């Protein structure tokens, strides 16, 4: 199956700036899931978009937001960046075949300095 693509691969920002991360799901898939993986921690659920709507969000402050476009690609925006926002941000699509698993992208490594 065609994969999930994320851009950019790496992003370096200064504290207080805004970061925009992008994701294209598996072709034809309508759902996008965003996760944050801070160093040494597990994947933390951020946001779920489906059919252009935000369906669920994790326990993150409102400065984490996003949107889904008509072609089902998605953006994750992080405003007023803090040092602890440094992490690997992963995007996922539900797998084909009905096993409820995810296909993940390679992630965007965000570093806040």
Partner 1 sequence: EDQVTQSPEALRLQEGESSSLNCSYTVSGLRGLFWYRQDPGKGPEFLFTLYSAGEEKEKERLKATLTKKESFLHITAPKPEDSATYLCAVQAHTGGFKTIFGAGTRLFVKA
The owner of tokens 């898939």 is 29
Binding mask 17-46 for partner 1 (x = CB under 8 A): --------------x-x-x----xxxxxx-
Greatest alpha-carbon pair distance for the chain in Å reads: 42
Spatial distance between the Cα atoms of 110 and 39, rounded to a whole number of angstroms: 11
The string of DSSP codes covering 8-34 is -SEEEE-TT--EEEEEE-STT--EEEE
Q: How are beta strands 44-50 and 31-37 bridged, if at all?
A: antiparallel
Binding mask 45-64 for partner 1 (x = CB under 8 A): x--x-x----xx--------
Task: Indicate which single residue of 81, 87, 90, 110 sits in contact with partner 1 (rule: CB under 8 A).
Answer: 90
11 touching partner 1, by CB under 8 A: no
Nearer to partner 1, 9 or 14 (CB): 9
Footprint of partner 1 (CB under 8 A): 4, 31, 33, 35, 40-45, 48, 50, 55-56, 88, 90, 92, 94-95, 99-107, 109
């Amino acid at each position: 199956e065609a994969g999930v693509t994320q851009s950019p691969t790496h992003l370096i920002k200064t504290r207080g700036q805004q970061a925009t991360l992008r994701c294209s799901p598996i072709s034809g898939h309508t759902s996008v899931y965003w996760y944050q993986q801070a160093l040494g921690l597990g994947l933390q659920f951020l946001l779920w978009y489906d059919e252009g709507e935000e369906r669920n969000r994790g326990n993150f402050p409102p400065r984490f937001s996003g949107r889904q476009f008509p072609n089902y690609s998605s953006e994750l925006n992080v405003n007023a960046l803090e040092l602890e926002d440094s992490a690997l941000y992963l995007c996922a699509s539900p797998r084909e075949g009905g096993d409820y698993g995810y296909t993940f992208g390679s992630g965007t490594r965000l570093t806040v300095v």
